[in-house]
Each structure stands twice: as structure tokens, then as C-alpha cells.
């Protein structure tokens, strides 16, 4: 009922809040014998952590994870894998002024409406602190995908405000292009169109100085995903991916392939045409021909099942709601008042959103990979024929 778990064969359960001792994820369904180190988790957590550049929040959270269970001698045991990330840099006093006020655009009012109480220090369970452990789980999911089917997931920023990146081939974008500028310095906005990236950084910095924030769009691409993963009805892989992305804080829209663009297209404009491709031949269904499509408007999924083409998703992320500027609001007692949030907040959520979105996509794909193997992985030879 409480919605703290996600996935079936690869299942994550999280607990924790922004101003408690920390956050924990329990991952069930991890195959035994998967090599895993804290250092591998740390690489991804460093991409998500606060304080990484001038355009992110200046909170300094080292986000150093600990294994609590499910590991022995550097490998997973196959039992539930628990990872804990302590909170270090909470400043609860930043929130004392707004304890009885509802932050516009945040979850304060809706939490009170549901529970009749809330931890006003930073949003409690609604805080993006919770997503750290999802990123840790995403590392495990990505390792399963890499090891078992060589699939990988890459996200990047395609839009900040009105600045839109030009990305001709989403499947060609590499981690290096997202993380580094051509001169080797960090690409702090994580947009691989470097002309657009520079404009995005300038815009975010201007808005930060104005005590404001800005929204944008992230694109997430999964390549190497074999054809045949997913379910035909309620657990369509597109439905699970949408839920995964919508479960992240601040996501107001999700689309895949041409997305809402399909509304103005004719069938002949929209259909992706099939062509033979032996490289894409199904691993298990040996009598099925390998195909590719000559375009990828369908975004790698048809009928809730992967086609073997790159999975291309986009998420629209809203501007950070907590603002240091004064805005109108209401107190818990219904009095009209004003509010300005003193805490340290990201002026644009997109750069730190990327590893979170990649992780959730990897978690869904690992889940469906394991489900596919469980159902279709060992077809008994048809002895009757």
C-alpha cells in the first residue's frame, strides 16, 4: 500500500528522509556472484551529489555509501542487498522560519492533507535525498545489464528554459561527451551540445543570482537492449519506464520516441519501416528473423515489448520550487502570508537529475531482463516434433 517498493524480479525498497540519519535501499533479486565495490557506487553518487558545481546547490553531502547486507568478499551473495547513505550536511535551522508555511510548488500542503503532520525540515520523504540510494541501486542494475546483455543507459540534458540542444543521434551520445567539455573540463550542465551547454550554464547562473530557478528536459537512451523484454498489458515496459521516471521528484512529463509529436503525424510519416538485421536476431526465439527499423520514431518499444532499437525517453523537469525570493502563501492555520526559502537549493534540477533518471531506467530494464529470463529463458525442446 505504501508504495516504497518498485519492480518485481529486481525489486528495490527505500526508506529514509532528508533530515533523518540517512537513506537505505534494499534490493531483492540481485543474482549471486556479481562483483560490486563501494568505489563503483561512489562514481555514480558523485554525479548526483549536491555541491558539485556553481550551478548546483552548495550543500556539501559526501554521500558515502555502506553495504549493510548481501555482500561477501566483494561479490553479491544473492540475498537482499542493503545499501545505506548517511545524511551529513543537514541544516534544519534553515527550515524553522517556514515550519508552518506551505512552500508553493512543494509537497508541504499535500503531505499535511494526507498525513495531518509532516517533517518540515527539507521535505522529509518528498526530498530528493531519497534518490541517492536509487542511484546506488541503479549501479547494480547497470552491472547486471552490462554483464548479461551489454546494454547501457545514458542520459543528458536537452533543454533548459528556451535553450534547446541539437542532438542528431541520441544513441551516439557517450558518457564522456556528457561529462566532459572538449577541453577536458567538467560539462557541469551535462548537455552534449556544447554551444547550447554554455548558454544553459549562463542562464542558470543568471537565474541563481536573481533568486529564481528554471526547468528543462532530460533525454535518456538505452542501447543494446535486446528485442523481447516487457509485458503486453499492465506491465508494458513503456508503462514501467513512465512510472519509474514519474516517481522521481519534479517530473511533470514523460514521453518516448516522437512522443507528443505523433499527434500531428500521418501513419505513413510515423511508421518506422523494418529491414532485416542479423545482428539483432533474438537470442532465444531462434526461428524469428532479426530486424531493425530504418528510423526510430517508436522509441524502441512496440506493444509494451522492446524491439532491439535504442529506447529513447524524455522527462520534463520543473523549476525548483523552493526560492529565496518572496512569494505569497498560506500558513497551516489558513492565514495569508509570504515565504522565502533560505535553504540551499539547485537553481536548475536537470544536471543532478541525469544520474537519477539513468538509474531508474536501468532498474526497469534489469527487472524486465530478469523477468524475461525467468519466463522465456529456458524453453524446453519441443520433443513432439
Ligand X SMILES: Cc1cc2nc3c(=O)[nH]c(=O)nc-3n(C[C@H](O)[C@H](O)[C@H](O)COP(=O)(O)O)c2cc1C
User: Under the rule (CB under 6 A), what is the footprint of ligand X?
Assistant: 57, 106-107, 123, 126-128, 248-250, 318, 320-322, 345-346, 349, 352-353
Comparing CB distances to ligand X, the nearer of 57 and 296 is: 57
Q: Which is nearer to ligand X, 135 or 153 (CB)?
A: 135
Among 177, 131, 132, 158, CA closest to 315: 158
Pick 186 or 377: Cβ nearer ligand X: 186
Q: Which is nearer to ligand X, 61 or 367 (CB)?
A: 61
Q: How far is the CB of 17 from ligand X (least distance, A)?
A: 12
Residue number, 270 or 318, with CB nearest to ligand X: 318
Q: Which is nearer to ligand X, 83 or 360 (CB)?
A: 360
Rounded to a whole number of angstroms, the minimum distance from the CB of residue 362 to ligand X is 17
CB of 39 to ligand X, least distance (A): 23
CA atoms within 13 A on the CB side of 288: 12
C-alpha cell at 364: 526497469
Least gap, CB of 249 to ligand X (angstroms) = 3
Kindly state the smallest distance separating residue 357's Cβ from ligand X, in Å: 9
Nearest distance, CB of residue 273 and ligand X, angstroms: 38
Return the number of the residue (75 or 327) whose C-beta is nearest ligand X. Answer: 327
CB of 54 to ligand X, least distance (A): 16
Shortest distance (Å) from residue 365 CB to ligand X: 20
Q: Which is closer to ligand X, CB of 3 or CB of 232?
A: 3
From 47, 82, 87, select the one nearest 64 (Cα to Cα): 87
Amino acid at each position: 500500500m505504501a508504495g516504497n517498493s518498485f519492480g518485481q524480479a529486481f525489486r528495490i525498497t527505500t526508506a529514509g528522509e532528508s533530515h533523518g540519519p540517512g537513506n537505505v535501499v534494499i534490493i531483492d533479486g540481485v543474482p549471486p556472484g556479481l562483483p560490486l565495490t563501494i568505489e563503483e557506487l561512489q562514481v555514480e553518487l558523485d554525479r548526483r551529489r549536491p555541491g558539485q558545481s556553481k550551478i548546483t546547490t552548495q550543500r556539501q553531502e559526501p554521500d558515502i555509501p555502506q553495504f549493510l547486507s548481501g555482500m561477501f568478499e566483494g561479490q553479491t551473495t544473492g540475498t537482499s542487498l542493503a545499501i545505506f547513505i548517511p545524511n551529513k550536511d543537514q541544516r534544519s535551522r534553515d527550515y524553522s522560519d517556514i515550519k508552518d508555511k506551505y512552500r508553493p510548488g512543494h509537497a508541504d500542503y499535500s503531505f499535511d492533507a494526507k498525513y495531518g503532520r509532516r517533517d518540515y525540515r527539507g521535505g522529509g520523504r518528498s526530498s530528493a535525498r531519497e534518490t541517492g540510494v536509487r542511484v546506488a541501486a541503479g549501479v547494480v542494475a547497470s552491472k547486471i545489464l552490462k554483464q548479461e546483455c551489454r546494454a547501457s543507459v545514458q542520459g543528458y540534458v536537452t533543454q533548459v528554459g528556451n535553450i534547446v540542444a541539437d542532438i542528431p543521434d541520441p544513441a551516439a551520445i557517450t558518457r564522456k561527451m556528457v561529462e566532459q567539455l572538449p577541453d577536458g573540463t567538467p560539462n557541469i550542465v551535462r548537455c552534449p551540445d556544447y554551444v547550447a551547454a554554455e548558454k544553459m550554464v549562463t542562464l542558470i547562473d543568471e537565474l541563481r543570482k536573481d533568486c529564481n530557478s528554471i526547468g528543462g528536459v532530460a533525454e535518456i537512451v538505452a542501447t543494446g537492449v535486446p528485442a523481447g523484454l516487457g509485458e503486453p498489458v499492465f506491465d508494458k515496459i513503456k508503462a514501467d519506464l513512465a512510472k519509474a521516471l514519474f516517481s522521481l521528484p519534479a517530473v511533470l512529463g514523460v514521453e518516448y520516441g516522437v512522443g507528443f509529436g505523433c499527434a500531428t503525424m500521418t501513419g505513413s510519416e510515423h511508421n518506422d519501416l523494418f529491414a532485416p538485421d542479423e545482428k539483432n536476431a533474438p537470442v532465444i526465439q531462434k526461428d524469428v528473423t532479426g530486424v531493425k527499423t530504418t528510423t526510430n520514431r517508436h522509441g524502441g518499444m512496440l506493444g509494451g515489448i522492446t524491439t532491439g532499437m535504442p529506447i529513447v525517453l524524455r522527462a520534463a523537469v520543473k523549476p525548483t520550487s523552493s526560492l529565496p525570493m518572496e512569494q505569497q502563501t498560506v500558513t497551516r492555520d489558513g492565514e495569508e502570508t509570504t515565504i522565502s526559502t533560505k535553504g540551499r537549493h539547485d537553481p536548475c534540477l536537470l544536471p543532478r537529475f541525469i544520474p537519477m533518471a539513468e538509474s531508474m531506467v536501468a532498474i526497469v530494464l534489469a527487472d524486465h531482463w530478469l523477468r524475461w529470463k525467468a519466463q522465456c529463458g529456458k524453453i524446453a525442446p519441443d520433443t513432439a516434433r
